[in-house]
């Protein structure tokens, strides 16, 4: 029996991935060494790296123009690495401001060139996705955060534009069908739908690189990582191995199309409960609700801690809202089973019946 | 039975660390969640982070002025991060060139300010450590690589200087007693004496920071990481956990003083065999030999592959020299047991007896 782990990231991983990983920490496929002890230049690791990169390409159905990189540093490093590679003083970048993470991305980008914030949902406390805005044709790129973990909002429609679109997909990659070729650069910290903390996935179109003249430090240069096949320096071997196992698991579930159906079922179930249970209230504009992070509050604030304590007693973990928003946040990443969501919904009903 | 793993990094870890880690991948100390699934803001992880940082401080006996950071990215990221924080156009940095890694560090530093290479062993193909050189008093810092993994050389004496000394200790940190307070900044990729690939240890004196006016991206700024207690972004949780376990193990062995004695015994044994066995020859100036990476060749090059194949059959792994140097490299990191070195030495004797 495990805890019902609704953490926002690092977060739940599939049980079978954990069992395989646990064995590999002792002995990787009978090679006599741990996954933590093998050389990153070994054939064993090259196969792991290649399977991971190929799975990303297959699952996202990426064009040939894309390169798939598995890098150090988390999405926070991409906040600087994207403008380091793509932005200079000659033309601005357009950014959508939908919360803490996009604000951080904007702040880092300003160090490398002009940034135009073309839309923001700040005035509504980031409880929705901006609708009416335009992206200047002369923008280097347009940056969005596809899912906003802290507020529970998600882009469901993307603007038509000829400007290359850069997306931070840290918290919803591999969770829903999208035309991923709409984007020119996709990045995602591993620690939600992919693996443990300590790795970032970057899928970048080669055609958008090499347009600025800045000299880049090697570790920041996408070209360097492309030329070295993601082996410019010692990569985060274990995080890549877990990602390989998670993507293998995802394929066994039927890929993104199949997991999207389950993700819809899970989030529908929880939103229905929030909307029908008199104790609770959703905090996000309905059309912008995230299927990965469900944010809500309890109408009577005096009951907030009581509900948290009650859940703790039921082995429900990780539902406390972000420290900047309060309330509750329930994360429903790919590995979260429907059973756990059903259990949470029953617990909400039971709690309401006791308080009703 | 395990393979005798002489890999240069990622490399051997203590067995008991691997067993504990394997369990924690399923369930961390009975909390019902994997070490890969817990929040980096949880109390459980804060304790892991604090124990790791405190152990580093204790084992290295660092002055109060030092801050200990556990960052993403590997030593290759430090090649840029050090000059990003410490170097500008007003005063040069002094670098010692002792091989591939210091050359890479020099190349990255040049992007941020003037660099003076004050000594180099390039002319002797990096088979020794430079002896006679001076460090200009007006240098921002003096950078060395204390142990050169590829060539098997190691600094055993450090120059007297008032210039702050920055050291890449990736491959010999925690392996020998040093006055670590001689240094002003120490960095080390985890994947030799500390943990798996995917984390870098940085110990930096606060007093050397804040002397340049460049605006830094947040992820590059040591101050930002200090202010956030190494939790500015989601850290590499698992790599930090393994590091905590490895440092706990090191303390149980008696700390650095005790492990240094074993490391001396191991390297003495192997160097004695290389010097006395007629088949082999060491490649490094005797006074500069590394106690972590022992480099040697076989006098008859026709036998090189045969010896490698023979070792493979004996379950001896990871002794092939770096692709740029050829020959053999045997890495003797802290976790390498004396037994395995004895076994290797016996195998060298047996091979020589067959060929003699």
From the list B1, B27, B36, the residue facing A10 with the nearest CB is: B36
Question: Is B37–A8 a contact, with Cβ atoms under 8 angstroms apart?
Answer: no
Is the confidence at residue A53, as pLDDT, over 60? yes
Peptide bond into B24 cis (omega under 30): no
Contact list, A8 vs chain B (CB under 8 Å): 39
From the list A18, A25, A108, the residue facing B218 with the nearest CB is: A108
Split at pLDDT 50, 70, 90, the class of B191 is very high
Q: What is the pLDDT of residues B134-163, one digit of tens each?
A: 999 999 999 999 999 999 999 999 999 999
ipTM of this complex prediction, to 2 decimal places: 0.97
Report the alpha-carbon distance of residue A165 to residue A22 in Å, rounded: 38
Place of tokens 């240098």: B139
Peptide bond into A116 cis (omega under 30): no
Distance from CA of A42 to the nearest CA of B (A): 9
Question: Is A19–B26 a contact, with Cβ atoms under 8 angstroms apart?
Answer: yes
Contact list, A189 vs chain B (CB under 8 Å): 234
Question: Is A73–B25 a contact, with Cβ atoms under 8 angstroms apart?
Answer: no
Average pLDDT over residues B57-64: 98
Predicted TM-score (pTM) above 0.90:
yes
Mutation choice for B interface testing from A11, A189, A196 by most B CBs within 10 A: A196
Q: What is the pLDDT of residues A271-330, one digit of tens each?
A: 999 999 999 999 999 999 999 999 999 999 999 999 999 999 999 999 999 988 899 999
Contact list, B242 vs chain A (CB under 8 Å): 36
Contact list, B214 vs chain A (CB under 8 Å): none
From the list A111, A189, A235, the residue facing B217 with the nearest CB is: A111
Q: What is the pLDDT of residues A16-38, one digit of tens each?
A: 999 999 999 999 999 999 999 99
Element (H, E) at B282: strand B280-282
Report the alpha-carbon distance of residue B40 to residue A73 in Å, rounded: 15
Place of tokens 């040049």: B110
How would you list the strands of the sheet with B293-298, edge to edge?
A: B280-282, B293-298, B328-331
Sign of CA dihedral A253, A256, A262, A266: positive
Element (H, E) at A86: helix A74-86
Element (H, E) at B26: helix B15-26
Q: What is the pLDDT of residues A72-93, one digit of tens each?
A: 999 999 999 999 999 999 999 9
Q: What is the pLDDT of residues B17-45, one digit of tens each?
A: 999 999 999 999 999 999 999 999 999 99
Residue B209, Cβ density class (10 Å: 0-12 exposed, 13-18 middle, ≥19 buried): middle
Please give the residue that has the higher pLDDT: either B1 or A277: A277
Contact list, B27 vs chain A (CB under 8 Å): 2
Question: Is A198–B104 a contact, with Cβ atoms under 8 angstroms apart?
Answer: no
Question: Is B236–A189 a contact, with Cβ atoms under 8 angstroms apart?
Answer: no
Q: Would you state the pLDDT for residue A49? A: 98
Q: Would you state the pLDDT for residue B356? A: 74
Integer angstrom CA distances of residue A95 from A73, A102, A327: 22, 8, 28
Q: Of B278, B340, B282, give the one whose Cα is nearest residue B314.
A: B340
How would you list the strands of the sheet with A200-205, edge to edge?
A: A66-71, A200-205, A185-189, A165-168, A142-145, A93-97, A115-120
For each of the domains in chain A, give its residue range(s) and CATH number, in order of start: 15-253 (3.40.640.10), 255-355 (3.90.1150.10)
Is the confidence at residue A180, as pLDDT, over 60? yes
Place of tokens 């692709």: B323
Question: Is B32–A76 a contact, with Cβ atoms under 8 angstroms apart?
Answer: no
Tokens of B309: 């194949």
Q: Which residues contact B311 (CB under 8 A, 6 or more apart)?
A: B317, B319, B344, B347
Q: What is the pLDDT of residues B261-289, one digit of tens each?
A: 999 999 999 999 999 999 999 999 999 99
Q: Would you state the pLDDT for residue B297? A: 97
Split at pLDDT 50, 70, 90, the class of A1 is low
Q: What is the pLDDT of residues B240-253, one digit of tens each?
A: 999 999 999 999 99
From the list A22, A32, A233, the residue facing B26 with the nearest CB is: A22
Distance from CA of A118 to the nearest CA of B (A): 22
Nearest chain A residue to B13 by CA: give it.
A37
The helix/strand/coil state of A126 is coil
Split at pLDDT 50, 70, 90, the class of A147 is very high
Contact list, B197 vs chain A (CB under 8 Å): 40, 234-238
Question: Is B37–A7 a contact, with Cβ atoms under 8 angstroms apart?
Answer: yes
Phi (first) and psi of residue B309, to 5 degrees: -65, -40
Report the alpha-carbon distance of residue B138 to residue B216 in Å, rounded: 24
Split at pLDDT 50, 70, 90, the class of B324 is confident
Nearest chain A residue to B78 by CA: give it.
A219
């Amino acid at each position: 029996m495990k805890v019902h782990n609704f953490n926002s990231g690092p977060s739940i991983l599939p049980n079978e991935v954990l069992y395989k990983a646990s064995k590999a920490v002792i002995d990787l496929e009978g090679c006599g060494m741990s996954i933590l002890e093998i050389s990153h230049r070994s054939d064993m690791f090259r196969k792991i790296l290649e399977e991971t990169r190929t799975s990303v390409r297959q699952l996202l159905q990426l064009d040939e123009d894309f390169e798939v990189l598995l890098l150090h540093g988390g999405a926070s490093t991409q906040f600087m690495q994207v403008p380091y590679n793509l932005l200079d003083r000659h033309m601005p970048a357009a950014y959508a401001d939908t919360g803490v993470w996009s604000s951080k991305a904007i702040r880092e980008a300003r160090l490398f060139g002009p940034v135009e914030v073309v839309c923001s949902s700040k005035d509504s406390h980031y409880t929705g996705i901006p609708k009416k805005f335009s992206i200047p044709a002369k923008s280097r790129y347009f940056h969005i955060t596809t899912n906003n973990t802290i507020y529970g909002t998600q882009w469901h429609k993307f603007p038509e534009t000829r400007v290359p679109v850069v997306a931070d997909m840290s918290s919803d990659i591999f969770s829903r069908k999208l035309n991923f070729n709409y984007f020119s650069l996709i990045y995602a910290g591993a620690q939600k739908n992919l693996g443990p903390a300590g790795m970032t996935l970057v899928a970048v179109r080669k055609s958008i690189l090499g347009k600025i003249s800045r000299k880049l430090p090697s570790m920041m240069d996408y070209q360097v990582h492309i030329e070295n096949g993601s082996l410019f320096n010692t990569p985060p071997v274990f995080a890549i191995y877990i990602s390989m196992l998670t993507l293998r698991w995802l394929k066994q579930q039927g890929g993104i199309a199949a997991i999207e159906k389950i993700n819809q079922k899970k989030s529908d179930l929880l939103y229905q409960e929030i909307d029908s249970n008199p104790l609770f209230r959703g905090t996000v504009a309905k059309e912008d609700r995230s299927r990965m992070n469900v944010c809500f509050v309890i109408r009577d604030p005096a009951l907030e801690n009581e509900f948290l304590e009650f859940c703790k007693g039921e082995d429900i973990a990780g539902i406390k809202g972000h420290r900047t928003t309060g309330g509750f946040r329930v994360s429903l990443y790919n590995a979260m089973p429907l059973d756990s969501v059903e259990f949470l919904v029953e617990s909400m009903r039971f709690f309401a019946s006791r308080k009703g």
